[in-house]
């Protein structure tokens, strides 16, 4: 039965569906106001319409104006786990990418913004439902297809999902993994470090206190932090945590001693590391700087980005089912590894594993694409997993 279903996957329908999705602009507005083309609303409306056409029970929860989570449910007969196929509807921006929303098929690839990150998986989910519907398959557990808002920025969509549902027993999120099964990734915790000084005219700097110079001392205090992190025990899949100085701002005019400077730093955290411990580590490096500078004032605030680490056990039913499905479809042992980037998965409120078409190396580029054969294989992997767990 599973093999027959996998043969019913239509490459043509996948290409048509993904092409339609790429042409709908759903760029994340980031810190700007949501507006047409820079929100999920138009894409969400399309996605809901497609789910309804396939016979799913649909619902929507607005998070902020123009930005909502949407989902469709194929109800099971009972006695099996509920499985969610989830993916984000937003994309990054398109500077320097004039053809971003004009889908193009060439050389076995479909090009366009969102083609791999991650509208490809959303197209696969619809094809999964179509195949099950046309074959008259009754699942034991519910199948939920979810479109999530705001993955590319603050993840308000998945954070809301974790609080309010709908919930499932297991989830698959089709981020571009080149069909690898990824049950783990590092988290991301970004904080602001601020220094303060005393503003005076730059012709008499000795009368002031330079906040930028104080920040320079802080930056130097972290010079060997990555070396320290690399000496700590590694996570078996995620490796070591890392630290990066990402954004700095301070001062207003060159003829004034600056009284304020701000640094935004990025810490990639391992499963088990806590926010509190990270702040303690930062403080331990900065506090000694105050010993020879009585006026040294600083603060650590945030976080501007706060995404937990993901660590689904390797013996979880969703991991083993996905790995078996990937091996069956590709004919090679499944690659089970950590994903490099942070995702919605740890926010969803139930064990969620990453596995999808496309390469993370193509995401966010000015020539984004997905291999069409991976669309077909990903759909077959999802079908195989669902049928083996709840068919």
The catalytic residues are: 90, 151
Distance from the Cα of residue 249 to its chain's centroid: 27
Structure tokens at 299: 């603060």
Secondary structure (3-state) at 163: helix
Strands 170-173, 83-88: parallel, antiparallel or unpaired by DSSP? parallel
CA distances from 6 to 84, 184, 271 (A): 19, 27, 35
Nearest 5°: CA angle at 85, between 83 and 318?
50
CA dihedral 89, 35, 188, 323 (to 10 degrees): 0
Could you tell me which residues come within 8 angstroms of residue 277 by beta carbon, excluding any fewer than 6 positions away? none
- Closest Cα to residue 84, out of 363, 378, 390? 390
How far apart are alpha carbons 208 and 189 in whole angstroms? 33
Please state, in angstroms and rounded to a whole number, the distance separating the CA atoms of residues 309 and 150.
Answer: 18
**Distance (Å, whole) CA 336 – CA 331:** 15
Q: Which two tokens stand for residue 260?
A: 């304020």
DSSP SS3 for 230:
helix
Instruction: Quote the radius of gyration of the chain (alpha carbons, Å).
Output: 24
């Amino acid at each position: 039965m599973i093999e027959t279903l996998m043969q019913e996957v239509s490459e043509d329908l996948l290409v048509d569906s993904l092409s339609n999705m790429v042409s709908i602009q759903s760029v994340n507005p980031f810190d700007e106001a949501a507006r047409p083309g820079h929100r999920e609303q138009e894409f969400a409306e399309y996605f809901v319409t497609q789910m309804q056409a396939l016979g799913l029970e649909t619902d929507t929860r607005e998070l902020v104006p123009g930005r909502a989570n949407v989902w469709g449910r194929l109800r099971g007969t009972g006695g099996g786990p509920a499985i969610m196929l989830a993916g984000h509807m937003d994309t990054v921006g398109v500077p320097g990418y004039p053809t971003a929303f004009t889908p193009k098929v060439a050389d076995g690839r479909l090009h366009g913004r969102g083609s791999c990150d991650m509208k490809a998986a959303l197209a696969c989910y619809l094809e999964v439902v179509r195949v099950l519907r046309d074959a008259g398959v009754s699942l034991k557990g519910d199948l939920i297809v979810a479109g999530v808002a705001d993955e590319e920025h603050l993840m308000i969509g998945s954070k809301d999902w974790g609080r309010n549902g709908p919930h499932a027993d297991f989830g698959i999120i089709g981020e571009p993994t080149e069909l690898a099964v990824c049950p783990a990734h590092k988290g991301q915790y970004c904080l602001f470090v601020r220094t303060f000084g005393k503003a005076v005219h730059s012709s008499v700097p000795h009368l002031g206190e330079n906040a930028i110079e104080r920040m320079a001392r802080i930056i130097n205090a972290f010079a060997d932090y990555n070396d320290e992190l690399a000496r700590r025990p590694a996570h078996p899949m995620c490796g070591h945590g890392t630290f990066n100085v990402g954004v700095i701002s301070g001062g207003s005019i060159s003829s004034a001693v600056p009284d304020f400077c701000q640094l935004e730093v990025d810490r990639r955290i391992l499963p088990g590391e806590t926010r509190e411990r990270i702040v303690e580590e930062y403080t331990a490096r900065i506090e000694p700087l105050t010993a020879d500078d009585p006026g040294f004032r600083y603060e650590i605030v945030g976080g501007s980005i706060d995404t937990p680490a993901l660590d689904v056990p390797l013996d979880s039913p969703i991991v083993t089912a996905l790995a078996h499905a990937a091996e069956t479809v590709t004919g090679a042992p499944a690659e089970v590894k950590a994903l490099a980037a942070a995702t919605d998965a740890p926010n969803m409120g139930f064990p969620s594993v990453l596995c999808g078409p496309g390469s993370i190396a193509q995401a966010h580029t000015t020539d984004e694409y997905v291999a069409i054969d991976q669309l077909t294989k990903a759909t077959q992997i999802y079908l195989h997993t669902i049928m083996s767990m709840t068919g």
